[in-house]
A and B are shown apart, each in its own frame.
Chain A
Amino acid sequence: MFINAFIQALREIKRNLMRSLLTAMGIVIGIASVIAMVNIGKGASQSITKSISKLGSNTLFITPGQQHGPGSQSAVAIPFKSKDVEVLKESIITLDAISAVESSSMTALYGDQNYQTSVKGIENDYFKIQDFSFKSGRDFTSNELRSGLKTCILGKTVVDKLFVNGENPIGKKLRLQKFSCEVAGVLNPKGANTFGMDQDDVILVPLNMFLRRVSGNENIHLIMVKVKDNIPLEEATVQIQQLIRENRHLKPQDEDNFSVRNMSALVDTISQITSMLTIMLGAVAAISLIVGGIGIMNIMLVSVTERTREIGIRIAVGAMSQDILIQFLIEAVVLSGLGGLVGVIFGISITMIVSYFMHFTLIIDPTITVVSLLFSMLIGIVFGIIPARKASNMNPIDALRYE
């Protein structure tokens, strides 16, 4: 009976091919988007996590002010001074590298080329923290760092944009808005980070020069530190917190007016955000599945009405109401199930294409694939039951007379 009903259902779908395709399209789109959303979401979150941990899971970010969750900022954000950085350097032996970082967006000029980029004032430890290596030239000399001489180190993107005819940038002079600087080194390219930001799109200058020429004050808004490999992050974090509190003369009952964060906290936040987005997008896609289900119910009701006579004939030759019920139910399930199958194929294709172009890790979650397929059939049952019941409850005499 089931096999025959299945064959019959396929035949019926073929008979009204255009209508069946359009009806199943709702399910196709719904399933495809659920699968694509969930898979892409997972892939994106995994690549983000991966590249963040590559960036340095033993890096701490010290910033003024305190953040309680995204967006809210309490406590007055008092910037750090160079003195704070010096104190950290001298007092904490668990740190491998430490660098204050100040940055600003500026236009760089060389010859008749100009290019807007990010200019960062840093100390030499920054290269170690960020895992930058030199393609040519050198890092800053202590003299340059101390007296803030006008030297700079370029990322590959900046070199490409300013030195268009391939000349060697070392020793050339760039103009950065109000001042000019001499190129001391060029960094090896690192490519885009997970957020799509080009890490080579940068000009690095000595911190002191940045403070003097750009900021016009001594304020520092970010200190990056690299903790020694064998030291737990938590330990270093506590040390830093204590030291800064002492330094800022905070009373025991005062809350920190700065924060020390590490990448794993960032990873948590990001994976929270991405999984939230995944759930939300998946939910929107699921709503489209319900819409698709209503489409199936609608077309099945039309089909039942159109085939009233057929139902009458079948009852006359001896079909029981459950035979009719099963026939129409299976038809709805086959319709939605085929839609689901096509949706899975589309969803996986979309996932592959997006992952390829966005450089995400390709994740095809087997659970969501199977669940989607089953769910699409469930939709067939849920939305097919009303039309099928309508068909199975028909009176044979009326059905046979139906025009």
Chain B
Amino acid sequence: MIELSGIYKVYGTAEASSTVLKDISLQIKEGEFIAIMGPSGSGKSTLLNILGTLDVPSSGKYNFETTDVTALSQDQRSLFRRYVLGFIFQGFNLLKKTTALDNVEMPLIYLGVHAKERKERALQALKSVGLEDRADYEPSKLSGGQQQRVAIARAIVTNPKVLIADEPTGNLDTKRSHEIMQILQEFNKNGITIIMVTHESDIAAYASRVLHVRDGIVEREENNVH
């Protein structure tokens, strides 16, 4: 489904540049659960951002199914994210003073879904993360684990093909982390491809494949059998 070949990411000017990603090539099949691990500064976040089309590679090819993602304009990448991707962040990144329901509805607004259907789908998504009774709560009234579950609901409400998760358990304690991972694993079993960055090996253990990134290259990868 996803094919990266020869991806480079260079920051800075010609005189003082730093190469964050060096000639990365990888393939991700539909339904995979990928964990990207690596120390800070290894380039794992940059790789995730490129996969999530929030960032663009300096050179190399990124194909999604039959689409040449590197050829897309900024607005086309927005549309690509809108229809194909879902995002989960370390800091939850929910809208403040906005109810869980409104937070989950937000991506559907950009999909042009009407208010009534939007509410139904958002409630359904909240139900799938076990938070249907917290729909009217604002993020400040929810625990970290609950906030991340709202964020997951927001990510999956558009029925994305791929879920991009940037350290989804980074701000959570161990118990909540495993709850969140179980939810993600459940969605993965239902067919959503997940690409996740983490630096905790027990979190990476939920993935079917772990990519170890160091100094801008995929150093090694391992397959987990569940």
Q: How far is the CB of B141 from chain A (nearest CB, A)?
A: 16
Contacts of B112 in A (CB 8 A): 1
Is the C-beta of A56 less than 8 angstroms from some C-beta in chain B?
no
Q: Which residue of B lies closest to A396 (CB)?
A: B54
Is the C-beta of B176 less than 8 angstroms from some C-beta in chain A?
no
Most buried by A among B54, B80, B86: B54
A309–B79 CB distance below 8 A: no
With contacts A4-B109, A397-B49, A397-B54 taken as known, whether A315 is within 8 angstroms of B89 at the C-beta atoms is no
Q: Which residue of A lies closest to B111 (CB)?
A: A318
The number of residues on chain A lying at the interface, defined by a beta carbon within 8 Å of a beta carbon of chain B, is 21
Q: Which of A1, A313, A321, A400 contacts B74 (CB 8 A)?
A: A321
With contacts A321-B74, A397-B49 taken as known, whether A313 is within 8 angstroms of B81 at the C-beta atoms is no
Q: Which of B82, B89, B96, B97 contacts A400 (CB 8 A)?
A: B89
Cβ < 8 Å to A, chain B residues 136-155: 154
B93–A313 CB distance below 8 A: yes
B107–A320 CB distance below 8 A: no
Is the C-beta of A197 less than 8 angstroms from some C-beta in chain B?
no
Contacts of B54 in A (CB 8 A): 315-316, 396-397, 400
Is the C-beta of A317 less than 8 angstroms from some C-beta in chain B?
yes
Contacts of A314 in B (CB 8 A): 106, 110
Most buried by B among A11, A314, A317, A400: A317
Is the C-beta of A310 less than 8 angstroms from some C-beta in chain B?
yes
Contacts of B110 in A (CB 8 A): 314, 317-319, 323
With contacts A317-B87, A317-B107 taken as known, whether A400 is within 8 angstroms of B78 at the C-beta atoms is no
Q: How far is the CB of B74 from chain A (nearest CB, A)?
A: 7
Is the C-beta of A178 less than 8 angstroms from some C-beta in chain B?
no
Is the C-beta of A15 less than 8 angstroms from some C-beta in chain B?
yes
A310–B95 CB distance below 8 A: yes
Cβ < 8 Å to B, chain A residues 1-15: 1, 4, 11, 15
A319–B55 CB distance below 8 A: no
B95–A318 CB distance below 8 A: no
Question: Total contacts A to B, CB within 8 angstroms?
Answer: 58
B78–A318 CB distance below 8 A: yes
Contacts of B95 in A (CB 8 A): 310, 313
A317–B74 CB distance below 8 A: no
Tell me, in angstroms, the Cα distance from A258 to B98 when the chains sit together. 79
Cβ < 8 Å to A, chain B residues 72-104: 74-75, 78-83, 85-87, 89, 93, 95-98
Cβ < 8 Å to A, chain B residues 110-125: 110-112
A316–B106 CB distance below 8 A: no
A319–B93 CB distance below 8 A: no
| B145-167 interface bits toward A, Cβ cutoff 8 Å, 1 = contact, 0 = none | 00000000010001000000000
Contacts of A312 in B (CB 8 A): 93
A318–B81 CB distance below 8 A: yes
Chain A interfacial positions (CB closer than 8 Å to B):
1, 4, 11, 15, 309-310, 312-323, 396-397, 400
8 more A-B residue pairs beyond the given contacts A315-B78, A318-B79, A318-B107, with a C-beta to C-beta distance below 8 A: A1-B109, A316-B52, A319-B110, A321-B75, A322-B75, A397-B49, A397-B55, A400-B89
> 5 A-B contacts, Cβ less than 8 Å apart?
A4-B109, A315-B78, A317-B106, A320-B79, A323-B110
